[in-house]
Amino acid sequence: MLNPDLLMALHYCAVIILTGAITSEYFLFRRGMSIEQVRKLLLADGLAALALLLIFITGVLLVLAHSQQPAVLFANPGYRTKLLLFCLMVISFGYPSHLFYRWRRSLRQGRAPMVSIQQQFWVIWILRGNLLLLALIPLLATLASS
């Protein structure tokens, strides 16, 4: 029914895509961006959102395809912590995505958006935090599997 190896490969591919997209956002985002840089940033943001969705879907399917009952998996503190960090990443990803989405109107008018110092501060730190979470979650996955 569900091929766990294929699901795991899709899951890992989505994590790699997410890492690349968030890293791209981190290096593209700054004050005084050109229209072309903003378009690349919006593309990276959309790709990151798609990767987050794919990670979630394949993760749920992996839980269903796992040999143990889901209750046994959720009893593992490493697994619960991994899920908590993933949820924290998804929630924190909302602020930059919402900010970038609001820029679409100014792009249609041919203007590059203005980035305030406060927006720059929060987006940079959120992206740094998400990159840190992306480094911690695989470590917790190894703890959860043992």
pTM: 0.89
CA proximity to 133, closest of 101, 85, 92, 97: 85
pLDDT tens readout for residues 64-98: 887 778 888 788 888 888 899 999 999 999 999 99
Q: How far apart are CA 4 and CA 1, in angstroms?
A: 9
Q: How far apart are CA 42 and CA 134, in angstroms?
A: 20
- Check if the beta carbon of residue 127 is closer than 8 Å to that of residue 26: yes
Q: How far apart are CA 67 and CA 126, in angstroms?
A: 36
How many residues can be counted in the chain? 146
Q: How far apart are CA 20 and CA 112, in angstroms?
A: 24
Query: Which pLDDT belongs to residue 146?
Result: 58
pLDDT tens readout for residues 105-133: 888 888 888 899 999 999 999 999 999 99
